[in-house]
Structure 1
Amino acid sequence: MAQHYYRKELGFTLVEVMIAMVLGLVLIGGVTGVFIANQTTYRVNEALSAMQENARTAFLLMARDIRSAGFSGCTNNGSVSNVLNNAGAQWWTNWQANQAGILGYTAATVPAALGIPAPVNDSEAIQLMFGGGNSVSVHDHQPNAASATLFVNSSNHGLQSGDIVMACDDDHTAIFQVTNANVANQTIVHNSGGSQSPGNCSKGLGFPTVCTTNGTPHRFGNNAMLTRFEAVGWYIGAANGVRSLYRATPRRTAGTSNTALATDEILRGVERLTFRYLESTNTALRAANNVANWADVVGVEVQLQMVAPANVQLAADVLTFSYMINLRNR
């Protein structure tokens, strides 16, 4: 008679399976948590790196303008003759000697006409004026001729009719618009009248300014300097609900002899712009409304408050970047 042997079947009990599943879920949850934490850290670091790089670029551009504030190309007593028509009607035609090429605005005082789009009402702004670009030397000047003409030492001056320029010597600086530039003859004409914008109220470049045809006479002699006039406004504006850092400056309109204000968007996602000023007569940084004398300002602290990306949460202090800039021409 055949014998049958029965072998005991081995396996997992239901309890063991459930325990294994729980342990597996815990392990998967831990790995997922580490992955999410690493992904969040990566996003934060990437966002911070991008904001730091953007802020660094903005600071470098602003520093170039701020360091140059007040520069005319000559060492003189700071007297400035401005013969642009309706000087002061637009901010970039309004050089004031007591400001020495720099003027700051608190949030409540920023002019709406500083740029397009207009500045927001809860952020500060700064306005700068200086001589920029390549300079050329003057070797003769005929201020009283029918066409008041400056003779320069180079045909590669890069100036054209309609450009606004600064001429200076050891007596004073003059701001005017070029009415004609002849490369072959190396001449710069600065007559009054005409259809240019803004145009010159006088061909006399002497100090103080008198807006008549001949104005205050002055002859810029040998070794006087001629350079392009730069006026720059930095502020925060909003377009389509997005705040950005803007740089406004007058430019000659292509194909014409007119100069008008143009605005460039420099950096998107900037919530607020703040300035603090250091005067040579005081060791403390001051807000614009507490500056005693703009001609004494030797340093500017710039602060940018950035907007965090939509998928990243950052503390307010992490979103704020500061940079200290020294003025060269003091």
Structure 2
Amino acid sequence: MNKNQIKKITPGLLLSLGVAVLSKLLAIFVPKLGATTIAILLGIILGNTIFRQKELDAGTKFSESKLLEVSVVLLGATVSFQTIAQMGPKALIYILLLMTSTIAFIAWLGRKIGFNKQMSLMMAGGCGVCGSSAIASIAPTINADDEEKGQVITLVNLLGTVMMLTLPFLAKLLFPDQIMAQSALLGGTLQSVGQVVAGASFLGESVIQMSMLFKIMRIIMLTVVVLVMGRLVKNESNIETQNVKVNKKKLIPWYVLGFLLVCTLNSLLPLPEFLGNSAKFISGWFETIALAAIGLRLDLQKFIKEGPKFLIYGLASGTFQTVLAVILIYLIIR
């Protein structure tokens, strides 16, 4: 990173850090709410009132993405194979059923509402796998144009934000004191890693850890989803996709591989206590800063600007995904 890039991200990064510090201080007086929850709520308020300047965007985007990614890697130091083993094969069955059903339904619904195949598949992949990252990976394999990609990314992010702010309360209502069930709901439905961490932060550290494991299962499936969608469009339409090459190595984000590596090391060679505590401390701070940035970047006006057709599609998709997840949790996870 050169001097110009550092200068560009500094204002937004410092603002995100300031909101995080303030959130930590406020959490002393309202410990039940927690610093991470306060950070995202405070960020939403400040980002839609006082701090709307464009020069803050680069720094808040850096805080939201890079710091959260490092936080996810460090989270691996708090998880071991024992934790993963506790989830059992039922967690994988749950994710596979939820993902395939969600993707199939949302792709079908998009065509019924009147969206083209490309937009429907991107929406399905974004909701079913991992939000913007999935959409960016799917778009070139199905020859979607940039305008379509931008529209779907906006819709998926709006939907994810609504679900991020509502699902934690639904999880607490339906599955009180059931960490596995709460984690399955959030980790199995929320679109981006940031939304999973943010939503789970309403419910506690244990839910954050296990929700991320459910989420990582979905991300690992991205390679298969991209290849299947590319093949589907190639076989069922006249669009030429055979010249599009999928870089399978880049489909799994570096931080997922980093998380798995640190988790493996922690399982095979348990980390010294001071290293584990340090990783947990740094991860917690990076997470709080990232969530403050997510709040600061949330533009509530976008909810108003999107047309009713898009909003109906988003609402129907989120409702189906949530209802199906709850049903599968009762049938498989509990």
TM tier, smaller: under 0.3
Structure number with greater Rg is 1
Give 1 or 2: higher helix fraction: 2
Larger relative contact order (Cα-Cα within 8 Å, sequence gap ≥ 6):
2
